[in-house]
Amino acid sequence: MLAGSVGLAAGAATSLPFLVPRFDQVRRPSRSRVAILPAEKYSERLERDLLIGLRLFSLDLRGKSVLLKPNLVDFLPGVDINTHPLLVVAAAQCFLKLGAASVSIAEGPGHQRDTELVLWESGFRALLDEQRIPFVDLNRDELVKTKLHANYTGLGHIWLPRRLRNADFVVSMPKVKTHHWSGVTLSMKNMFGVVPGAKYGWPKNILHWRGIEPSIVDICATVPIHFVIADAIVAMEGNGPLAGSSRALGKVVLSDDPVAADATCARLMGLAPERIAHICETAKFLGNASKELIDQLADPVTAPEMPFRTVPEFEYLQAR
């Protein structure tokens, strides 16, 4: 009882920046679609299963340029911190099969300035070269000044990579993890990686000073996430995003709505999406977090017996 009260109080405190709505328009669809696909391990079979899952959404990708944004943070041997390269490459092949004119993979790591080193050591470089898939370092792309479509940070505008802006179809591909500053890092937090280091530094510390959750909302209000493919085959719990423990969930989560994807992933983690401030706020204008407004196209949402462990400050997120 006491723990619950503390949790609610903490949740309310986290929500303080969101007391007044600061978005320019409501773009929430009437309903959203999510497909939870079973996937026990990272293998060549992923491409076939992913293609079946993607076909459930009847995406019209003909002639479009697709940009895949994985979560590629750093390389720490033996720690599952990045979206797995086999899943990312499988997604690239699927989108080409679905008629995309081009597919590129793009990321701007937050702390590690040597993106090429991360690509090499995480196994991405060999796969990308082999399959001739181009990679864009979002930390070092040409930049375009962009007005924010929400202003919870007070930044007003943000500089964004031109090749991100020019992409017709942006796919956020997070690694499902807990996060010691924002509770979780899912498809929306993953978009911190589009903020360019060349302008904002390594790390993009201005986003921390303006508030991580307000920054997530502002970025996601401004950069459209057309689709989500979340890597929950092996997720992370505890002191994420770098120092947590691996936790096998055996799932890939697809969605045409990042808010619905993140709310679903949170439920799969045994966390309550209604207690996660940036999910709550974006559910007011960007997407749907409510179970009733999400059509599950594949497996049903099942909460784990034991919720994901978090750092103590975020234990109130656990849906016990």
Partner 1 sequence: MASFDGFSVFPYNRVMTERLLQISFRNALIGRQMATGGWSYGQASAQGDLEPTCLALLALRWDSSPSRARGLQFLLDTQNPNGSWPAFCGDDPEGSGLTALAVIALINSGELALQTERGLKWLLHSKGKESHWLWKWKFRTSDTHVRFNPDKYGWPWMTGTCSWVIPTAFSVIALKQAFVCCKTEEVDPRIRRGKEMLLDRACPGGGWNAGNGVVYGVPMASHLDATATALLALHGEEVDDVINSGLHWLERRVVTCSAPWSLAWSLLALDAYDRPVGSLADRLCDLSDPGRIRDSATLAAMILALDCLVQGNVFKVLA
239 binds partner 1 (CB under 8 A): yes
Calculate the alpha carbon distances from 116 to 39, 53, 90, 170, 276 in Å. 29, 31, 21, 22, 33
| Three-state SS at 11 | helix
Calculate the alpha carbon distances from 314 to 96, 197, 230, 280 in Å. 40, 28, 21, 15
Q: Which is nearer to partner 1, 22 or 180 (CB)?
A: 180
Q: Percentages helix, strand, coil for the chain, rounded to the nearest 5?
A: 35, 25, 40
Residue 74 near residue 242, CB atoms below 8 Å? yes
Q: Please state, in angstroms and rounded to a whole number, the distance separating the CA atoms of residues 150 and 154.
A: 9
Site residues (CB under 8 A) for partner 1, limited to 72-91: 74, 76
In the complex, least distance from residue 12 CB atom to partner 1, rounded to whole angstroms: 18
Among 200, 227, 314, 316, binds partner 1 (CB under 8 A): 200
111 binds partner 1 (CB under 8 A): yes
Residue 126 near residue 83, CB atoms below 8 Å? no
113 binds partner 1 (CB under 8 A): yes
DSSP for residue 142 = -
Helix (H) or strand (E) holding 208: helix 205-209
* 127: its two tokens: 């796969």
6 binds partner 1 (CB under 8 A): no
Q: Which is nearer to partner 1, 119 or 286 (CB)?
A: 119
- Interface size with partner 1, residues (CB under 8 A): 33
Among 10, 65, 102, 159, binds partner 1 (CB under 8 A): 159
What sign has the CA pseudo-torsion 277, 235, 218, 23?
negative
Q: Which is nearer to partner 1, 215 or 264 (CB)?
A: 215
284 binds partner 1 (CB under 8 A): no
Taking CB under 8 A as the binding criterion, the range among 27-35, 133-141, 249-257, 292-300 that sits at the site for partner 1 is 133-141
102 binds partner 1 (CB under 8 A): no
131 binds partner 1 (CB under 8 A): no
Q: Please state, in angstroms and rounded to a whole number, the distance separating the CA atoms of residues 83 and 122.
A: 10
Taking CB under 8 A as the binding criterion, the range among 204-212, 225-233, 273-281, 284-292 that sits at the site for partner 1 is 204-212
Residue 225 near residue 187, CB atoms below 8 Å? yes
141 binds partner 1 (CB under 8 A): yes
Among 48, 162, 291, 320, binds partner 1 (CB under 8 A): 162
Q: Which residues pair with 255 in a beta bridge?
A: 34, 228
Among 12, 243, 248, 306, binds partner 1 (CB under 8 A): 243
Among 43, 205, 290, 302, binds partner 1 (CB under 8 A): 205
126 binds partner 1 (CB under 8 A): no
Where does this chain bind partner 1 (CB under 8 A)? Answer: 74, 76, 111-114, 116-117, 120, 137, 140-143, 145, 159, 162-163, 180, 198-203, 205-206, 208-209, 239, 242-243, 311
